[in-house]
Amino acid sequence: MLAKKNIHFEVSERKILLRILDLVMLYLGVYGLSLYVKFEYIEFSAANTVALVLLGVYYIIFASIFELYDLQKASRLDTTFKNLVITVSTVVLFYLLTPVLSPYLPEERIQIFYLYITLIGVVLSWRLLYIYLIETPRFYKRVLLVGEISNIDGLIKALNTTDPNYKIVGFINSEKSSDESVKFKGLPEFEASDFLGTIETEKISEILVASFDSEAIMAEVYHDLMVLLERGFKIRDYTQVYEELLQKVPIQFVGKDFYKYFPFSRSNENKLYIFFQRTFDILFSIIGLVIGMVLIPFILLGNVLGNRGPLFYRQERVGKNSKPFNILKLRSMVVDAEAQGAKWAQKNDTRITKFGMFLRRSRMDEIPQFYNVLKGDMSIIGPRPERPFFVSELARIIPFYETRHIIKPGLTGWAQVSTRYGASVEDSLTKLQYDLYYIKHRSVFLDFSIFIKTLSTIVYYRGQ
């Protein structure tokens, strides 16, 4: 009989838990104010339903933008406190600026300060419990890795940097015979002959099978896996876990059975989804161009002072179905930056002017691309379009690279909000993994998540 498994919260469960209890504490704070203080700004009553709902909506939106639901950041007190203060400050400001839906300003302005301090206090108190209770080892998912020695190192490095609660406690070599001696710091190897005993003594919650060739798994390991499966024990394939936790497709592990890994999203052929996406593209691109027109005098001044030369430039990019089109951007590099030929943009690239760096980090250099979106060459969300020269080079080196062209390229995308700027073949491989994940899981909810993360990128000045 196997030992009772530890309680563990999955990634999605922790994100839902954070959102729900944030809102619960938010409303408890407002309710408590009306009980213990002469507080009239927001009365906790049915008459104020719209105002109370608006407060919660504002909080969830801005908490997402300011990364309060990023699990890595939510596990740290300093980052949580900083993001919470920024979130509540923005929520209260927007709440004050919408008096038609929110309550009118109270006669005693100090009540706004009471609300501000209370919201920070109640949410922070619950977040402290989350950090020092949910994020403790008692709630870790203890995982035993079963697989081939050649796969283990890269897989462990990838998973250990993703979910702070997902702990690989050791591994069992599933190969029939191997003379290799593999030692990982902090990761012991357990004997295959004591597979079931290890599950019990180490309080394992999940088995992760990392094997390219199931035929190579030792008979005794295979037998024990079957026994565990029949007992309802959780056994998962490493590609499934890799994609779920890292939110990218593990194309480096995909072989001849590649078709198993690309059951592309139904949204790619869903006429209703495509219609609403195009409607959103048109409306948002019009808004973006209007904002661009308002900013253009300031951009022109900055261009004259710190970026002398033409303001705009066109460049050929590869679009949907590999059809080329000309992208429009604000120039951020020196004139004739590629006189010596095309080359990758690097971090701290000397070809980028000081004003050009500001345009890139603020993402303002992308504003003219709203015109490409309006024309239909691009969408707001999708894989970033690449230049034909680099597409040809990368398609020869990276398998499935051309697959990213089955949908329209985007102004922003899952790769752009999930990883750094692609400045090499290795970076392009990582970006492709994220692009394929988007194509595979494309949906309204993922689009909204990308939109929120893009706002976070702009707010925190992370553009490159």
Please write down the HEC assignment for all residues of 337-357.
CCCCCCCCCCCCCCCECHHHH
pLDDT at 28: 94
Q: Give Dmax over CA atoms of the chain in angstroms.
A: 80
| Boundary of a domain, candidates 112, 135, 158 | 135
- Of 112-121, 171-180, 232-241, 294-303, give the lowest mean pLDDT range: 171-180
Cβ count within 10 A of residue 199: 22
pLDDT at 1: 47
Q: How far is CA 341 from each of CA 310, 336, 346, 390, 438, rounded to the nearest angstrom?
A: 20, 10, 15, 12, 32
Residue 233 shares a structural domain with residue 216: yes
Higher pLDDT, 376 or 167: 376
Residue 92 shares a structural domain with residue 240: no
pLDDT at 54: 92
Could you report how far apart the first and last alpha carbons of the chain are, in Å? 55
Q: Are 143 and 167 in contact (CB under 8 A)?
A: yes
For residue 382, pLDDT beyond 90: yes
pLDDT at 184: 55
Residue 276 shares a structural domain with residue 412: yes
Q: pLDDT tens, 213-233?
A: 666 788 888 899 999 989 889
Q: pLDDT tens, 122-169?
A: 999 999 999 988 877 777 888 998 887 665 666 777 777 777 778 888
Examine residue 254 and state whether it is found in any structural domain, yes or no.
no
Exposure string for 432-447, b = 16+ CB within 10 A, e = fewer: bbbbbbbbbbbeeebb
Of 370, 386, 454, nearest to 414 (Cα)?
454
Strand partners, 325: 317
Residue 101 shares a structural domain with residue 158: no
Q: How far apart are CA 62 and CA 54, in angstroms?
A: 12
Q: How far is CA 143 from the centre of its chain?
A: 24
Higher pLDDT, 457 or 61: 61
Which tokens is 409 given?
């390229």
The average confidence (pLDDT) of the chain is 84
Banded pLDDT at 29 (limits 50, 70, 90): very high
pLDDT at 40: 78
pLDDT at 109: 79
Q: pLDDT tens, 67-120?
A: 899 888 888 899 999 999 999 999 999 888 887 787 777 777 788 888 899 999
Q: How far is CA 229 from each of CA 173, 224, 463, rounded to the nearest angstrom?
A: 19, 9, 46
Residue 95 shares a structural domain with residue 155: no
Q: How far apart are CA 11 and CA 163, in angstroms?
A: 8
Beta-carbon contacts of 66 under 8 Å, excluding residues fewer than 6 positions away, are 83, 86, 87, 90, 456, 459
| Boundary of a domain, candidates 135, 152, 170 | 135
Of 326, 337, 323, nearest to 405 (Cα)?
323
Residue 241 shares a structural domain with residue 282: no
Average pLDDT over residues 184-198: 81
For residue 371, pLDDT beyond 90: yes
Residue recorded with tokens 């080329």: 324
Q: How far apart are CA 57 and CA 70, in angstroms?
A: 18
pTM summary value = 0.81
| Boundary of a domain, candidates 204, 231, 246 | 246
Of 320, 450, 330, 439, nearest to 377 (Cα)?
320
Residue recorded with tokens 């990308």: 450
Domain count, the chain: 3
Average pLDDT over residues 433-451: 92
For residue 12, pLDDT beyond 60: yes
Q: How far is CA 394 from the centre of its chain?
A: 24
Domain of residue 183: give its range: 140-246
pLDDT-above-70 percentage for the chain: 88
Q: pLDDT tens, 346-363?
A: 666 678 888 888 888 888
Tell me the CB-side half-sphere exposure of residue 283, using CA atoms within 13 A.
6
Residue 38 shares a structural domain with residue 113: yes
Of 418, 420, 451, 452, nearest to 435 (Cα)?
418
Residue 235 shares a structural domain with residue 335: no
Examine residue 4 and state whether it is found in any structural domain, yes or no.
no
Q: pLDDT tens, 303-320?
A: 888 888 888 889 899 999
Residue 397 shares a structural domain with residue 290: yes
Beta-carbon contacts of 150 under 8 Å, excluding residues fewer than 6 positions away, are none
* H-helix segments, 207-365: 219-230, 238-246, 271-306, 354-361
Phi/psi for 6 (5° steps) reads -70, 155
Residue 90 shares a structural domain with residue 50: yes
Higher pLDDT, 236 or 9: 236
Q: How far apart are CA 30 and CA 17, in angstroms?
A: 20
Q: pLDDT tens, 392-426?
A: 989 998 888 999 999 999 999 999 888 876 667 78
Q: Are 190 and 144 in contact (CB under 8 A)?
A: yes
Q: pLDDT tens, 246-292?
A: 888 888 777 666 777 777 888 888 899 999 999 999 999 999 999 99
* 306 three-state secondary structure: helix
Of 2, 18, 455, 453, nearest to 10 (Cα)?
18
pLDDT at 344: 63
